[in-house]
């Protein structure tokens, strides 16, 4: 059977001409091809979209990694600079402690002996410099340094009290006994204060050693 006979046979039940049947078959073929092409396009579009989303996520993760690495590097730099600053000022701080202690002892000795030496220069700026360095570079030493400076500041006044009582000239035995008792008490208080000052200095030195023990690492 030839092709024209097959077409005529298919068209007969519907009352269609041979040309209409051919057109219907052609249309069906075209629609199938379009549908097949649409599915392939959709799949390709989905693949492209997934690839783009993966790339965006990869870039986002890389950015987070770089930000984290930069933050860690910055923190490490700050830690190194902080340690270096503490090391640079350590000698100045230690020298200030020693000078403050020696100035207090010099003032006590000069007061007790009635020296006319000008002592106004003693301790000038040392206390402020120590407190400034402590607040800037050694915050851990706040309590021990304060105890030391209070002990240092108390010494001159006690020395003056001792000197005052030692210069008294009582007129009778009763006053002499009273004067000696007062002088003895003031001397004991002064010695206790000097001992407290030494202990306070040792406390600062001990805390400073603990704070700076890791500086060599």
Which CATH number fits the domain that encloses residue 195?
1.20.120
Residue 112: closest CA among 201, 196, 194: 194
Task: Answer yes or no: is 17 within a domain.
Answer: no
Task: Answer yes or no: is 154 within a domain.
Answer: yes
Domain coverage including residue 206: 80-216
Task: Answer yes or no: is 111 within a domain.
Answer: yes
Query: Tens of pLDDT along 9-68?
Result: 444 444 444 454 444 455 455 456 555 555 555 555 555 555 667 666 666 776 776 777
pLDDT tier, 135 (very low <50, low <70, confident <90, very high otherwise): very high
Task: Answer yes or no: is 74 within a domain.
Answer: no
Task: Answer yes or no: is 21 within a domain.
Answer: no
Alpha carbon 17 to chain centroid, angstroms: 92
Query: Tens of pLDDT along 168-200?
Result: 776 666 667 777 788 888 888 889 998 999 999
**Cα pseudo-dihedral 64, 66, 69, 75, rounded to 10:** -90
Q: Round the average pLDDT of the chain to a whole number and report it.
A: 75
- Which residues are CB-neighbours of 106 under 8 A, at least 6 positions away? 119, 122
**In whole angstroms, what is the distance from residue 103 CA to residue 145 CA?**
16
Query: Tokens for 153?
Result: 């500041």
Number of domains forming the structure of the chain: 1
Query: Is residue 144 scored above 90 in pLDDT?
Result: yes
Task: Answer yes or no: is 122 within a domain.
Answer: yes
Task: Answer yes or no: is 128 within a domain.
Answer: yes
141 touches 86 (CB < 8 A) = no
Task: Answer yes or no: is 91 within a domain.
Answer: yes
């Amino acid at each position: 059977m030839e092709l024209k006979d097959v077409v005529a046979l298919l068209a007969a039940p519907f009352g269609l001409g041979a040309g209409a049947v051919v057109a219907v078959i052609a249309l069906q073929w075209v629609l199938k091809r379009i549908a097949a092409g649409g599915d392939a396009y959709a799949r390709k579009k989905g693949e492209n979209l997934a690839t783009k989303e993966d790339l965006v996520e990869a870039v986002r993760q890389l950015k987070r990694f770089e930000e984290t690495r930069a933050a860690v590097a910055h923190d490490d730099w700050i830690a190194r600079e902080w340690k270096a600053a503490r090391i640079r000022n350590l000698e100045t701080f230690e020298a200030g402690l020693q000078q403050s202690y020696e100035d207090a002892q010099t003032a006590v000795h000069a007061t007790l002996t009635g020296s006319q030496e000008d002592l106004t220069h003693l301790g000038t700026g040392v206390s402020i410099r120590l407190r400034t360095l402590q607040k800037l570079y050694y915050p851990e030493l706040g309590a021990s340094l304060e105890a030391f400076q209070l002990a240092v500041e108390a010494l001159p006044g006690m020395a003056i009290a001792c000197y005052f009582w030692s210069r008294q000239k009582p007129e009778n035995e009763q006053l002499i006994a009273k004067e000696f008792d007062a002088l003895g008490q003031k001397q004991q208080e002064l010695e206790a204060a000097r001992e407290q000052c030494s202990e306070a200095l040792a406390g600062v030195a001990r805390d400073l050693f603990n704070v700076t023990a890791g500086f060599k690492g």
